[in-house]
Structure 1
């Protein structure tokens, strides 16, 4: 490599680092999708979470558990690292909500204000689910600020889960949605738009039933209905068109831009899709960002930085809404600013 090429490379590298630093200083975030625990219900801890938020310029964050735990089966050689480490099942785990409550309440009041706990430890196919939510609200009055992530259609995870298949319009969840509306709680819902092999949105009607029958419940659709094993690459315009229709039809729907929807749809290969940019601009008050980390917070900063190409192409006021404001506006009006300390 010649001296000229080395100087050019140094200039490009220095410029990139400078631009990245400017971006990091420019954007402040609120994280609308974060799991304090992994699928073994373990966590790095609450203090590392706060440190990660500070490092990533995150002012406020959802904090939720995970509604299932991975079974450590006798026929497996070691404890599984993830839900998909082996073919042992996962099962519904209510203690996850207590883990969240104890972690948040261990913090000083100034840090508690930054975290917004969501209830998720219930079986969405059990009509007793609403009773669990009601019990959590009674035990921790003024503490909980949402419900979710409620996991329904979730490809491989659905296949691993004991019992009946969960769906967005299950009668058990309809009771939860009504309770959510009564207490002004948003619902973060994972409901795949389709199956792993289908070309049509075979599960979309389940979400629409929930939206139609619960107009007073605010829904955040996790990952815009996408997931790892859903292949919509042969229909690049399909998802954006469906979202345009849904957002126009249902005033109670918001979209969580996290995980697969970013890499597979909004900015594949790092380039922002014009169709998606137009969609987000048209509904700039209905989208929010999430890291979707599970138990480990080492990659929170990286996850939030991944949104920069999109934010840079939005108008400044729209970028601010998507990165920060929309998340706060969906929280309960009466307790979003409360301190949880007792």
Structure 2
């Protein structure tokens, strides 16, 4: 009786293990890899290649291409085979995610030696073309990639400089060499302000630096969304005071420049008006001189004296007193 029960139990286990568990399905957002006695099924002699890696890194990250089972099913597997399913859909994760500790922000030190908090998200997905390192290469690939991303981010923040500010400083050096006066707006900015103004540049840099994560760890970074850079409250208050002072200085400089340009414009107009008046007073004299020259050329001295005498008549009528002098004998 006991032997019969044992045979029935063994038969039931065999049916469950060989027939029921021999079939599996793969969801649309999943990919599967089969292992036979712990060894993954591979494509013959094919390795994953990435031109972004250096020669040393290529030798270190030599991962084989695996045979990937796509969505669908039911598929059949033997009892000595195991199925490893991976979600390949795009996922979002906060930068503060860390399974080993709780944290509300990521701390980083700027080039001004100021500790600031960084928050944001990253979007990633598992690389379907390189599942070997994700499943078998690293114990916790997501935690590993997050650590790599945070390390690169902190290094970038510690050395970040505003590209526009660098160009302005280069222009300031050239102006000083030529003896020109450089305004306060060409001074180097505070690193936290530069980071806040250039978040798209910082995100773009992080995406470029993480292009090789798909080959190293089997996780492809699709986007870096660093949204907040918040210094400590006392530093933030100091930065607010600095920004207010700079804005006031910039406003005063703009007002002074506008007043100077207005004064220059008014001076130019006054000079133009004075020149026009002088030209208006000189024009009749020039015309009279040309007339006298023409009369003398046509009629001689007699005609010129007659013209002068005739021109005196209207003047004599307007005169109140006439003084006549006589010549003395020599």
TM range (shorter): under 0.3
Higher RCO by CA contacts (8 Å cutoff, separation 6 or greater) = 1
* Rg larger for: 2
Bigger fraction of residues in helix: 2
Bigger fraction of residues in strand: 2
What TM-score does the superposition give when structure 1 sets the normalisation length? Answer: 0.20
